[in-house]
Structure 1
Amino acid sequence: MKGITKKFGDFVANDSIDLTVHKGEIHALLGENGAGKTTLMNVLYGLYMPTEGNIFIKGDKVEVTSPNVAIEKGIGMVHQHFMLIDTFTVVENIILGMETTIKKGSWDTKCIDIERATKEVEKLSKKYSLHVDPKAKIQDISVGMQQRVEILKALYRGADILILDEPTAVLTPQEVEELIQIIKNLTKQGKTIIIITHKLKEIKQAADYCTIIRRGKKINTVKVSNVTEENLAEMMVGRQVSFAVDKKDIEKGEVVLNIDNIIIKDNRKLNAVNGLSLKVHRGEILGIAGVDGNGQSEFLEGITGLRPIESGKVVLNGENIVNTSPRHIMKKGMCNIPEDRQKRGLILDFSIAENMILEIYDKEPFSKNGRLNHKNIEEHARKLIGKFDVRPQNEKQAVGALSGGNQQKVIIAREVTNDPDVLIAAQPTRGLDVGAIEFVHKYLVEQRDNGKAVLLISFELDEILNLSDRIAVIYNGKIVDILDRKDANEKKLGYLMAGGGVENGRKEA
């Protein structure tokens, strides 16, 4: 890609960027949220036409006018938010738009040749060690497996250059390891991989080269083996970044959230949360560590009023809030950074300003006598956009047009500003760059230092260990142990997360 510029009105998303990628290499594209990484790859994939610049594939200048042209040229893309149909099977999703048909019966009836497609998918799955069941429905498989389906979909269409947009943002640590192995297998088979990411550890583990973009401009291309994580972070953010969390010791206060022996069922009517008890104090960050699928999602939905609790108590500020409405729970002093920002956290067609006041739109100064005060709403949004560094800095921008990391900043700005007694932070830094992660961690610690309670649920063990005062380990819908931070390490937590020590019972919260 030579001299690629992409403008949206007056906003320059990509400013004369050059990118060279060689056959068989893993090339990372690194940058802050909103730096222009995805925009550049959307130009390569034909979703956007460049304002200026040219694309060359194998030395030939090409006009990539649509994704269909990109696919013809051997380019495939796996987007950050997967594009799969939940009720279809794996194989139906993979062949969608490229179905082959066979004649059936004596009336010249044609139907999709699912049997042949299934065999082809199985063959591809085996060749690239993707281990996907073609007959499984998308809604019944894990997020990591859905990502493999997206990779298979691109390979089925003949991709030689595969773009992965934030591929590890929604994966557990185990799935990340598996994905890195899959990527390396693909390059051994002659494929070329471009990874859009801001996870420095994974760049060091997987990438050969890395191109850094900052605020729409290319900063450098480096050989990954020649630089440290600190070097990459500084090039990406433009300043030194602290990887340590600055947290002073404080005395924890009274219990503000008391969860007692709750049972919550999943969508199949089976117990996902199975007698879970926990006490959260003012002035502490209580981290919940666990492998995805051990009841975390159902637990969060239950205590925030989004899923019925079968039995047990959840006492917030002295009141049992079991099976009350989300609005009532918010008014009692609990706010929530949800794990799925697009499904639970935002209304994508609304502006940044409108999303900032979703929970307080009925209060002054944002409304009076049922009428919204747009001037005050937009002024409030401008303050938060500046304070939380949301990009682009335009309060009227639809939130659906922001990068994933900036969408996350909008949610965090809203929830922290609501000044809750209990802040539930579920995967709060998912999809954020190191600069933004440092920023979010600072705000979570600030909440705790101000005497608030923070309940942190994260699949990132580093994050749990860096932020938490106490760490509760969830396994099979129960808390199996609670450790003081000074007694916890990755090895001990990993053992408990895998079910080790369950027979010994657990500590009281």
Structure 2
Amino acid sequence: MDTATPVVELKQITKRFPGIVANDSISLKLQKGEIHALLGENGAGKSTLMNIVFGLYQPDEGSIEIDGKPVIIDGPNRAIELGIGMVHQHFKLVQPFTVTENIILGSEPRKGARINYRKATEEIRKLSEQYGLRVDPNAKIHDISVGMQQRVEILKTLYRGADILIFDEPTAVLTPQEISELMEIMQRLIQEGKSIILITHKLKEIMQIADTVTIIRRGKVIDTVKKTETTPQELAEKMVGRNVSFKVDKKAAEPGEVVMQMQNILSKNKDGMAVLNSLNLQVRAGEILGIAGVDGNGQTELIEALTGLRHVDGGKVTLHGKDITNLTPRKVTESGVAHIPEDRHKHGLVLDFSVSENMVLETYYKAPYNKNGFLQYDEVDKKATRLVEAFDVRTPSIHTMARSLSGGNQQKAIIAREIDKNPELLVAAQPTRGLDVGAIEFVQKQLIAQRDQGKAVLLISFELDEIMNVSDRIAVIYEGQIVGEVLPEQTNDQELGLMMAGSTVKRGAAHE
């Protein structure tokens, strides 16, 4: 085969949904052995385009060629036959099954009528070694980390013989260490003769790993460039259509009195293990306290204990000196706590409710939204219209289902609702997870604006850059305890990384 023939070529692909052209005559070429990044804002049409390549959607116009031959990809099975595999952003794994059971699901090797597990396990172990994936074929999915689950998804595509791999926002849920391991895995895949399309909006990753970048904005291709001939600044501008600042502009904090205090908090899981272990924390008015830590060290439990979603077994949580320990979530909200949850699908929105209905999830029972037990829809719509405009939530209408908004716009809707409550304490958990640079800049400005109005902001994030950039003070959490506090201007990634891994820094843990 002539090397110049692309392994995949998309020719003028157009895809329309009611009220929106998701892909507008998009053309793209993937060469053998290259990592081609597809860069764009949330809702730019990246995932739609890749779902077309993987056969989940059919294009309204345009054609696809594999190795120079036109093909019709009428479903994922056809895509798999053509050697295309997709690693989705939200993993499609059966939790109680083992790694092997998940990988062979739907293409089980048979020995007579029985499934030949030994053969499958052996094959998976070989593949795992060949690509440096280090996955245990017999582990249960619910016992392994998110990073490992993603490797299982990668193995699933390799087991089915994929030569062309599509990665959809693969680093959205990974820790910094897992991200660098994933980069090594991708390099290894390329060395073994695979070709990769990487959907992302993280410029750092593109500069690190991609060969070619195609930028999409609002469904159209803006440009295709070689990575060596561009800069992150230039890519960001093409992606959002304006200049983007990577540094957060903010004046020095002027912290006031303590708004929220957690004293000696103890919380156990169902096996009686302490997931929060004599945890102490204070957030003051007019400051952003960032919580840094590796995923799984008690961040989720801390948020749940604070917002009334988890039982506290010892210690107390106070807001302006008032005890709010173990109050119901509604009572906590009414005391003046707003919460941007880390999982926007599970805890932030009701996906099958409209944007409008989602805006009053926590206030629907109050006037003016409720009168004698009946929802006043005109009032609800008035509020939704105001918030959608103020926070630039891009939606065809306030009556559109929350499910059909892009991730970034779902997040903006939640932030609009929470900030609108005018809280004393804003708890922001992974507020920019999965967002593009334009949306990240917007969200971070909102957090700083809250701080500047004298509110207390608690920011929990796995993005070290975000913690360093946005926080006024940083507390490090490790195994359910706050093990130290530092000021962003007096620390660096290395030192924070060490504290996050549990080694105490010479300055000593700053406990109150």
Q: When the two structures are superposed, what TM-score results if normalisation uses the length of structure 2?
A: 0.96
**SS state at 2:330 partner:** helix
Give the alignment of 1:321-470 within 5 angstroms. 321-470=324-473
Q: 2:184 & 2:74 partners in 1: Cα distance? A: 33
Give the conservation status (yes or no) of the 8 Å contact 1:260–1:278.
Answer: yes
Give the conservation status (yes or no) of the 8 Å contact 1:29–1:194.
Answer: yes
Q: 1:91 aligns with which of 78, 95, 100?
A: 100
Residue in 2 that maps onto 1:221 = 224
Q: 1:30 aligns with which of 27, 32, 39?
A: 39
Give the conservation status (yes or no) of the 8 Å contact 1:32–1:435.
Answer: yes
- The Cα of 1:318 is off from its aligned counterpart by 2.1
State how many pairs are aligned.
Answer: 503
Q: 2:150 aligns with which of 143, 147, 152?
A: 147
- The Cα of 1:222 is off from its aligned counterpart by 0.4
Give the conservation status (yes or no) of the 8 Å contact 1:27–1:195.
Answer: yes
Q: 1:409 & 1:277 partners in 2: Cα distance? A: 31
**SS state at 1:20 partner:** strand
**SS state at 2:39 partner:** strand
**SS state at 1:18 partner:** strand
Where in structure 1 are there 5+ consecutive unaligned residues? 104-109
Residue in 1 that maps onto 2:5 = none
Q: Which amino acid aligns with 1:168?
A: T
Q: Which amino acid aligns with 2:108?
A: E
Q: 1:73 & 1:268 partners in 2: Cα distance? A: 47
- The Cα of 1:51 is off from its aligned counterpart by 0.7
Give the alignment of 1:299-310 within 5 angstroms. 299-310=302-313
- The Cα of 1:507 is off from its aligned counterpart by 1.1
Alpha carbons of structure 1 residues 99 and 128: separation in structure 2 relative to 1, 3 Å: same
Q: Which moved more, 1:65-74 or 1:479-488?
A: 479-488
Q: Which moved more, 1:498-507 or 1:257-266?
A: 498-507
Residue in 2 that maps onto 1:249 = 252
Give the conservation status (yes or no) of the 8 Å contact 2:495–2:505.
Answer: no
Q: 2:30 aligns with which of 21, 24, 43?
A: 21
Q: Which moved more, 1:466-475 or 1:395-404?
A: 395-404
Q: 1:114 aligns with which of 100, 103, 117?
A: 117
- The Cα of 1:419 is off from its aligned counterpart by 1.3
**SS state at 1:354 partner:** helix
Residue in 1 that maps onto 2:297 = 294
Residue in 2 that maps onto 1:126 = 129
Alpha carbons of structure 1 residues 274 and 377: separation in structure 2 relative to 1, 3 Å: same
Q: Which amino acid aligns with 2:289?
A: L
- The Cα of 1:268 is off from its aligned counterpart by 4.1
Deviations along 1:269-322, one digit per CA (max 9) or x if unpaired, are 321211110111010000011111211112112211112111111111222222
- The Cα of 1:491 is off from its aligned counterpart by 2.0
Alpha carbons of structure 1 residues 317 and 302: separation in structure 2 relative to 1, 3 Å: same
Q: Which amino acid aligns with 1:114?
A: Y
- The Cα of 1:470 is off from its aligned counterpart by 0.6
Q: Which amino acid aligns with 1:12?
A: V
Give the conservation status (yes or no) of the 8 Å contact 1:386–1:393.
Answer: no
Q: Which amino acid aligns with 2:489?
A: K
- The Cα of 1:413 is off from its aligned counterpart by 1.4
Q: 1:474 & 1:236 partners in 2: Cα distance? A: 35
- The Cα of 1:202 is off from its aligned counterpart by 0.5
Q: 2:270 & 2:132 partners in 1: Cα distance? A: 31
Residue in 1 that maps onto 2:323 = 320
Give the conservation status (yes or no) of the 8 Å contact 1:480–1:502.
Answer: no
Deviations along 1:397-438, one digit per CA (max 9) or x if unpaired, are 211222222222221111111111111111110011101111
Q: Which moved more, 1:265-274 or 1:412-421?
A: 265-274
**SS state at 1:425 partner:** strand
- The Cα of 1:502 is off from its aligned counterpart by 6.6
Residue in 2 that maps onto 1:473 = 476
Q: When the two structures are superposed, what TM-score results if normalisation uses the length of structure 1?
A: 0.96
Deviations along 1:168-226, one digit per CA (max 9) or x if unpaired, are 11111111111111111111111111111100001000100000000111000000111
- The Cα of 1:506 is off from its aligned counterpart by 1.5
Residue in 1 that maps onto 2:4 = none
Residue in 1 that maps onto 2:88 = 79
Residue in 2 that maps onto 1:107 = none
Indicate the percent of aligned positions where both proteins have the same amino acid.
60
Residue in 2 that maps onto 1:7 = 16
